[in-house]
Amino acid sequence: GKSYEHLLVSSPKPGVGLVQLNRPKALNALSTPLILELNSALRGFQADSSIGAIVLTGSNKAFAAGADIKEMKDLTFSAAYGSDFIESWSHLVTFLKKPLITAVNGYALGGGCELAMMGDIMYCSTSAVFGQPEIKLGVIPGAGGSQRLTKAIGKSRAMEAILTGDNISGKQAGEWGLVAKVFETPEECTEGAIAQAAKIASFSQIAVKAAKEVVNKSQDLGIREGVEFERRVFHGLFGSKDQKIGMGAFAAKQKPEWSNE
């Protein structure tokens, strides 16, 4: 496939796309060129019908140590506002309809923590260090941290992290439900994420897409509207071939062969 300056992109298992942030000299600081490459790699996997789920990870030392401070330090209000600085980050979550698993080892600070939280499923290892240290730089989180961290761990804990800049350990992230699972080592974390992605990729891509969509709706809708939305989508799946294939295979005691239709 395509080669990148700041990323390693591969498919370690059938159906699984893997993106590793690879800017080791800056602890994977998220410069504009890196974010543009990340957008491009994820769009590539989104468009590739052989890929069913995606894993995003960094190195053992750092998932990402934040936005690139050296790139940002001389930015002015008018340049930031005028160019919609950071807006391209959130495109990543809107165009990506396939599940994204973020596997965090080492530092996930500032924009790195925010990027990790854009994952549909987050895993980490005990080496992970989460934090929103922007307050120490005279600013605040700018890529969704104040919203996603608060939804994930509750207001008081998020407020404490964002106002003090104190880090959150991987173990604590597991106890607070920021991540779905904490692995002992970085290798187990990445392997575990790839294994779960392979499992997801083995199901009907139509059902997987619908499942991600309905869960994400719960973040925006109230419970009554959310349940109604889910039921509409559920009813809609009876128009898919894969519903007939899946339920037919169960009744016939066979393994389903998904059509992705």
What does the binding site for ligand CO8 look like in residue numbers (CB under 6 A)? 26-27, 29, 65-70, 86, 107, 109-111, 133-134, 137, 141-143
C-beta closer to ligand CO8: residue 69 or 79? 69
Q: Has 116 been annotated as catalytic? A: no
Residues 6+ apart with CB under 8 A from 9: 1, 2, 3, 17, 18, 19, 20, 41, 44
* Active-site residue (options: 66, 110, 134, 210): 134
Closest contact distance (angstroms) between CB of 58 and ligand CO8 is: 12
Q: Has 257 been annotated as catalytic? A: no
Contact between 101 and 199 under an 8 Å Cβ cutoff? The reply is no
Closest contact distance (angstroms) between CB of 128 and ligand CO8 is: 12
Q: What is the C-alpha to C-alpha distance for residues 115 and 143, in angstroms, rounded to an integer? A: 8
C-beta closer to ligand CO8: residue 58 or 66? 66
Q: Has 111 been annotated as catalytic? A: yes
Report which of 127, 118, 98, 63 is spatially closest to residue 211, judged by C-alpha positions.
98
Q: Which residue in the shown chain puts its C-beta closest to ligand CO8?
A: 110
* Active-site residue (options: 64, 67, 193, 201): 67
C-beta closer to ligand CO8: residue 134 or 230? 134
Closest contact distance (angstroms) between CB of 67 and ligand CO8 is: 3
Q: What is the C-alpha to C-alpha distance for residues 196 and 198, in angstroms, rounded to an integer? A: 5
Q: Which amino acid is at 257?
A: E
Angle at 196 between CA 93 and CA 128, to 5 degrees: 70
Q: Give the DSSP letter string of 126-160.
A: TT-EEE-GGGGGT----SSHHHHHHHHH-HHHHHH
* Active-site residue (options: 66, 111, 144, 170): 111
Report which of 74, 62, 79, 71 is spatially closest to residue 28, judged by C-alpha positions.
62
Max Cα–Cα distance, the chain, nearest Å: 65
Closest contact distance (angstroms) between CB of 150 and ligand CO8 is: 16
Closest contact distance (angstroms) between CB of 117 and ligand CO8 is: 12
C-beta closer to ligand CO8: residue 37 or 134? 134
**Token pair for 155:** 């207001």
C-beta closer to ligand CO8: residue 146 or 196? 146
DSSP SS3 for 89: helix
Active site residue ranges: 67, 111, 114, 134
